[in-house]
Amino acid sequence: MSPSITFKQATFVVLFLAVGQFILQVGLLARGVEYVAASLVIDDTYYYLQTAWNTKQLGFVTFDGLHPTNGVQLSWFVIILLLTMLAKTKMALLFATMVVSFLLNGLCYLVILKIGAILKRPTLTLFMAGLWSLQSLPFRIYSMGMENSLHALIFWCVIWQSTIFLIRVQNRVKPNFWGLTVVLILNVWTRLDSALLSVILYTFCIVMLASTYRNNFRIFLQKHLKAIAGSSLFASFGLVTQLSAFWLMGDSFLPVSALVKTSDVSWRLSTGVVDKLIEIVILGMPSMLQGRFPALTLVSLGIFGILLVIGARVIIPNHPEELLAFLNLWSCLLVGEILYHLYIAISGVQYTPYFIWYRSPSFIFWIITMSLIALFTFDYIKLVIHRFQIFKWAPVGVSLLIFAVAIYMFARSINFTSELYVARYNAALWIAENSPPDTIFASWNTGQLGFFSNRTFINLDGVINHVDYYERVLRGSIPLTDYLFENRVDYIVDYDIYDSIPDFPVVHSFPLNDGSGRSIQIWQVNSQISSSQ
């Protein structure tokens, strides 16, 4: 059999990918503020930036400067708040946030190296690194300043620590509960909706540990009960700390954004569940595949890939212990993905508009799946053509080829411009120049408008407002007009598609240059209109 490349050689390739990607992504910032506003950052990013900035200025967590809010994910908000303490201007904060996001993308490669090192599989490392570049370089989800990059890094760390735990269990060595527990806590702090997956992974690791004592469960309890109880208490403390932080920020134990996004949960089985499930599965698949194949074709490919890994797990004899532990972890991830998708589909949550950006665990699951398929394929081919020593460099060539494709797609994507973001950016600048500083505005999409206008913008979709707005207006009986008058709102600014906007006069319009006929409009709130009308 031809020898494989050394791990040191694989490390050089992976570091090349990491540094290359960081340079390419940071280079985008040289295009200036207008490019970042029009082509990279989504509206939700400014929710974090404006809230952190106001927290520094006003001393309490608020987006609009009037109402407390907790509509953020804890870890990412803390990081941006720390950046805010260092930044002297909003633009410095914006660019610092983007640099940190790109740095986090690059740090994922280092964790992939850690995983490859404990598995003693440089070939698998190269495949995972190449596929990570294809997901994180050309697609906006990892270049828009949201918590996705942090979540990806944390979840790669979850894979790393879980693998270490399972290998030690398999080798009958005392496992490290604390490393695993810390990364699972951070996983939830980064995305609260990752709690289900964290619980599944922790439970799986404990079950695998207990299974090694199936003939004498008492010894298992004697050796590990204290560590299990301690780590469970520590995890509970982490959750209590997180929920308490939300309460202190905005008077509810769950972030108001979570309350808004799950307000339509109905928990029912219907004919639409299957369609919703297919939609969710596709959204979690690699971005390169989405939209390029029919839905059923994509789902079929996913099922086929899963069956290939399961088949290799069962049919191929004598897997190395490290790889066997990794395959067991992959099985747990598969169960976690299925349960999460079923939860979303059955709950009836409007998945697409709220969760489309936040699928790092799913992306990583598919990266690992495809990497395992590539590894088994490579090992099989190597058995057939073992005479050719040059074949050992094939994984290097494959990873570099994938990176080249990622660069090509990145080059094609960098000239993307959202006409909606352009119109909103122009509206924000116009407002900054043409309204007194004490003018109060409201919008359903307040992030970009509030950040660049330096005016008070009250959020009307509720995700970065106070829980009182959610309870009284969104879920209660208080009419929107009454809320606007109660808060002395002078103008509403948004696209002209909301049926709930009262019949206020339009005082200015910013057309979208996309041929759709849509525009960003400014309505003057008419204090003569009452809730009775």
27 confidence band (pLDDT: 50, 70, 90): very high
Q: Say what the pLDDT of residue 269 is.
A: 65
Extract the tokens encoding 512: 């979208």
Q: Say what the pLDDT of residue 275 is.
A: 85
Q: Say what the pLDDT of residue 291 is.
A: 85
Q: Say what the pLDDT of residue 530 is.
A: 45
Which residue from 313, 15, 401 is spatially nearest to 7, judged by alpha carbons? Answer: 15
531 confidence band (pLDDT: 50, 70, 90): very low
Let me know the angle formed at the C-alpha of 14 by 11 and 20, rounded to the nearest 5 degrees: 135
Is the per-residue pLDDT at 533 higher than 50? no
Least confident range from 16-25, 223-232, 250-259, 495-504: namely 495-504
- 419-463: pLDDT as tens digits: 999 999 999 999 999 999 999 999 999 999 999 999 999 999 999
251: left (phi > 0), else alpha (psi -120 to 50), else beta? left
Q: Stretch 134-162: mean pLDDT, rounded?
A: 97
Q: Say what the pLDDT of residue 387 is.
A: 60
348 confidence band (pLDDT: 50, 70, 90): confident
Instruction: Please compute Rg for the chain using Cα positions.
Output: 25
Distance CA 108, CA 267 (A): 36
Least confident range from 422-436, 473-487, 513-527: namely 513-527
Q: Stretch 261-267: mean pLDDT, rounded?
A: 75
501 confidence band (pLDDT: 50, 70, 90): confident
Residue percentage of the chain with pLDDT more than 70: 94
Count other Cβ atoms within 10 Å, centred on residue 500. Answer: 9
Least confident range from 147-156, 192-201, 214-223, 376-385: namely 376-385
Q: Say what the pLDDT of residue 346 is.
A: 86
Longest dimension (CA), the chain: 87
Residue showing tokens 């309350």: 259
- 70-129: pLDDT as tens digits: 999 999 999 999 999 999 999 999 999 999 999 999 999 999 999 999 999 999 999 999
Which residue from 364, 363, 393 is spatially nearest to 378, judged by alpha carbons? Answer: 393
Extract the tokens encoding 11: 């490390």
Q: Say what the pLDDT of residue 271 is.
A: 65
How high does pLDDT run on average in the chain?
93
267 confidence band (pLDDT: 50, 70, 90): low
Alpha-helical (H) ranges within 28-141 are 33-35, 43-58, 74-86, 90-119, 122-136
Which residue from 254, 269, 440, 276 is spatially nearest to 350, judged by alpha carbons? Answer: 276
Extract the tokens encoding 283: 């959204």
Residue showing tokens 């849509």: 518
- 170-210: pLDDT as tens digits: 999 999 999 999 999 999 999 998 999 999 999 999 999 99
Crossing angle (nearest 10°) for helices 272-284 and 295-315: 70
Let me know the angle formed at the C-alpha of 362 by 361 and 367, rounded to the nearest 5 degrees: 95
532 confidence band (pLDDT: 50, 70, 90): very low
Q: Stretch 310-319: mean pLDDT, rounded?
A: 90
Residue showing tokens 């409007």: 350
Contact 367, 286 (CB under 8 A): yes
Q: Say what the pLDDT of residue 399 is.
A: 97
Find all residues with CB under 8 Å of 127, minimum gap 6, and list them. 370, 371, 374, 375, 395, 398, 399
Q: Using CA atoms in the order 433, 438, 439, 440, what is the torsion angle rounded to 10 degrees?
A: 130
Find the helix or strand (DSSP H, E) in which 510 lies.
strand 506-511
CA 514 to chain centre: 29
Altogether, the residues listed in the chain come to a count of 533
Q: Using CA atoms in the order 186, 190, 192, 197, what is the torsion angle rounded to 10 degrees?
A: -60
Is the per-residue pLDDT at 266 higher than 80? no
Using DSSP, state whether 331 is helix, strand or coil. helix
Q: What one-character-per-residue DSSP string does 114-164 give? A: HHHHHHT-HHHHHHHHHHHHHHHSSSGGGSSSSTHHHHHHHHHHHHHHHHH
Where in 210-352 does DSSP place strands (E)?
none
Give me the residue spans of the domains in the chain: 7-40+71-413, 419-524
57 confidence band (pLDDT: 50, 70, 90): very high
Q: Say what the pLDDT of residue 84 is.
A: 98
317 confidence band (pLDDT: 50, 70, 90): confident
Find the helix or strand (DSSP H, E) in which 296 lies.
helix 295-315
- 356-410: pLDDT as tens digits: 677 999 999 999 999 999 999 998 888 777 666 667 888 999 999 999 999 999 9
Distance CA 392, CA 5 (A): 6
